[in-house]
Amino acid sequence: MPEHSAPLPSTSRVRRIIDLIGFLVGIGLLTWLIVIAVRDGDWQRVMEADRRLLVGLVGCTVLSAALTGATFWVTVRPVKRLGFMELQGVNLVASMLNYAPVRLGMLSRFAWHMRVDAMRLLDILAWFASVAVLIAAGLVICSVATILMPGVGAFWWILILLGTLGAGLVLGLVPRIPFVQKHGRGADQILASGSARWGGLVLRLLDFGTFAGRVAFALAILGITMAPSHVLVLAVVALLANLIPFGRLGFREFAVAWAASRLGSDSVTGVNWEQLALVESGGEVLVFLPLGLLCSPWFAMRLRRGAAGRSIGV
């Protein structure tokens, strides 16, 4: 990918209005969930929870953040060498900015890579599209394995392994498609690279595991028992809700609470699912907000200096 300077991306007025409306709706949903959780939830159980469970809840998010940064690093290497720790910092700031009224996380990633790394907009889009394909592949693998083997036993792991091998081989054929070769702008190079394709796929599967782990720890903190397959379904819901393009607060919590109530309605009664959603989501907030704020001065200073102040590290 040749390096060219380009104007920083910006959002249209219509998109900003949509983001603002989405944020207000999300805040409304979150407020509603909090009111129900405070009124009906057992917060004493949370206050007296085993510290190991609380550490596990937060630790899953720390690991998830590291795996996400590693995914961006391993997938971009076939087309451009970027610093591993730099991408970790960018990921933390972007994750924090997703809580803003106008969802700035993705925009901040574009701004960084265009200004600091001198990458072109279409090249970044191709890179991020490759990551999105790997995320989708991981979700399909886990979903199909869980549908075929709800018990999540040894055979489930075999299905995960077979699914990963199959997905890696199929994705390796994508760069051979003439249209992708002509218009891929680097996405074909990423998917053609064994280290980027297999490494990114494994990292996304591991990250999905951190979502499932956070759900499991939240359930344990509240003393709720659910089938492993239901835990995985809630992890899928949480991950997909994180990808909602407008707003961040409220929608993910509402989706998890609704899905949990549907899954547990037949086997679990008297549970405040709103509280479960808030505890699970809180495991992210407690990591991304403080670490994102900690990295913000560095992010702003480096973004202001641009490519001239960049020190490459791999």
DSSP state of 175: G
**What does the angle CA 69 – CA 70 – CA 74 come to, to the nearest 5 degrees?**
125
How far apart (Å, rounded) are the C-alpha atoms in residues 181 and 175? 6
Per-residue confidence (pLDDT) for residue 115, from 0 to 100: 92
- Establish if 300 belongs to a structural domain: yes
pLDDT value, residue 41: 82
Rounded CA separation 87/91 (Å): 6
Q: Please report whether residue 85 resides in a domain.
A: yes
DSSP string, 203-230: HHHHHHHHHHHHHHHHHHHHT----HHH
Domain ranges, residue 49: 13-309
Structural domain contains residue 191? yes
Residue 287 lies in a domain: yes
Spatial separation of the C-alpha atoms in residues 269 and 24, rounded to whole Å: 32
Residue-wise DSSP of 245-302? SS--TTHHHHHHHHHHHHHHTTT--S--HHHHHHHHHHHHHHHHHHHHHHHHHHHHHH
DSSP single-letter state for residue 140: H
Domain assignment of residue 186, yes or no: yes
Structure tokens at 217: 């720890």
What's the rounded Cα separation, in Å, for the pair 173 and 175? Answer: 6
Query: 3-class DSSP state for residue 78?
Result: coil
Q: Which of 141, 102, 115, 109 has its CA nearest to residue 128? A: 109
Amino acid at 46: V
Count of structural domains within the chain: 1
**pLDDT-derived band of residue 4, with 50, 70 and 90 as boundaries?**
very low
Residue 6 lies in a domain: no
pLDDT digits (tens, 9 = 90+) for 215-254: 999 999 999 888 899 999 999 999 998 888 776 788 999 9
Long-range contacts made by residues 293-297, C-beta under 8 angstroms, separation at least 24? 293/96, 294/92, 295/89, 295/92, 295/93, 296/93, 296/96
pLDDT tens-digit profile of 91-140? Answer: 999 999 988 777 788 889 999 999 999 999 888 999 999 999 999 999 99
Average pLDDT over residues 83-96: 95
CA torsion through residues 66, 69, 75, 79, sign? negative
Q: How many C-beta atoms surround the C-beta of residue 76 within 10 A? A: 26
Q: HSE of 255 in the Cβ direction (CA atoms, 13 Å)? A: 19
314 found inside a domain: no
pLDDT tens, position by position, 241-290: 888 877 678 899 999 999 998 887 555 556 789 999 999 999 999 999 99
Confidence of residue 16 (pLDDT cuts 50, 70, 90): confident
Token pair for residue 206? 């591991």
- pLDDT score of 57: 96
Domain presence at residue 5: no
pLDDT at 313: 38
